[in-house]
Amino acid sequence: MFKRVNKLPIQLPQPKHPDPNAASAVQELLGGRFGEMSTLNNYLFQSFAFRDKEKLKPFYHLVASITAEEVGHVELVANTINLMLTGTTQPGDPDTTPLKNGTDKRNTYHFIDTAQTAKPWDSMGKAWTGDYVFNSGNLLLDLLHNVFLEIGARTHKMRVYEMTDNPVAREMIGYLLVRGGVHIVAYAKAIEMITGVDVTRLLPIPKLKNAQFDVAKKYEDQGLHRRLYTWSDTCFKEIGQIWKGTHPEDGSTLEVVEGMPEGFPVPDLPEVPEEFAPGISAEDFAQIFERLKQAGNIH
C-alpha cells in the first residue's frame, strides 16, 4: 500500500512571470523516455514482479523504496510545469480571444487539453508510454538498466537546466540532479554487491559534478546526496545493507533515513476562468458549502 502525504520534497519558488515555452522543455523531464514517469514505472513494475523477495530482501527493499520517492518526483516536476504556465493568459469574453497567447507557444496542447497544466507527455507533446518500462526479471540486468536510466535522466536534466534560467525549473532540476545521483550510486553499489565490480568508479556520467550547478550544490551542501530514505515508517530498512560506506565522489558517510523528508506545501493553483477551470463560481461554491453543512448536520 502507498501512503500519500500532501507535501512536496522541496519549496518551489513562486514565478514572477509565466514561461510556457520553457515549460514545454521541462515536459521532457516528466513524460520523456528518461523522464520521471519512466523512472517511477520502471521501478514500480520491477518491485511488483520481484522474485525471491525474502532471499534477496536488501535489493527488493532498494527498488521498492526508490519507487516511493519517484512518485513524489513526478508530482514535483508536474507542479513545476504548472507554475511555469500560470498567468500565460488572462480572463476575458470569449469573443476577445482570451487564449490567443496559446497559439504562439511551443506546446499549444497545454492550452487546449489541460487548462495550462502538466500531462505525461514529452517536450514534443508525445504521450508517455508503457513501452518505456523495462522489467526483465533478471535482477542484475534490471539494476544495470536502472543505472543507465538514471544516467539518461541526469543527462536530460543537465541539458534542460542549460536551456532555461527559470528559477522554478532550476530549483526542481537542481534538487533532482542530487536525488537522481543518490539513485545512481545506490544501484551501482547493489551491482557491486552482486558482482564485485565497482561501478561507482565510472561516475559521474557525464563527467560534470552536481556541485557545478549552483542549485544542485545548495542541496549537496545540505547532505542530500548521501541520504537514502526508506519512505516508510516500518518497512524497507534492509537498504542499509547496500547503502553504506562512503560516497564515491566526496567520501562523505552514507546515511539511511527512516521515513521521508519533512516536505513543503503543494502550490494551490488559481482559477483560470478563460479555460473554464475549475468551473466553480462563487455562487456555486456557496451552494456547495450549504450542501456540505447539511450533509454534516452543521448549523
Burial of 3 (0-12, 13-18, 19+ CB in 10 A): exposed
- Give me the chain's average pLDDT, please: 96
Q: What is the pLDDT of residues 214-251, one digit of tens each?
A: 999 999 999 999 999 999 999 999 999 999 999 999 99
Residues 267 and 172: beta-carbon distance below 8 Å: no
Check whether 296 has a pLDDT greater than 80: no
Q: What is the pLDDT of residues 184-196, one digit of tens each?
A: 999 999 999 999 9
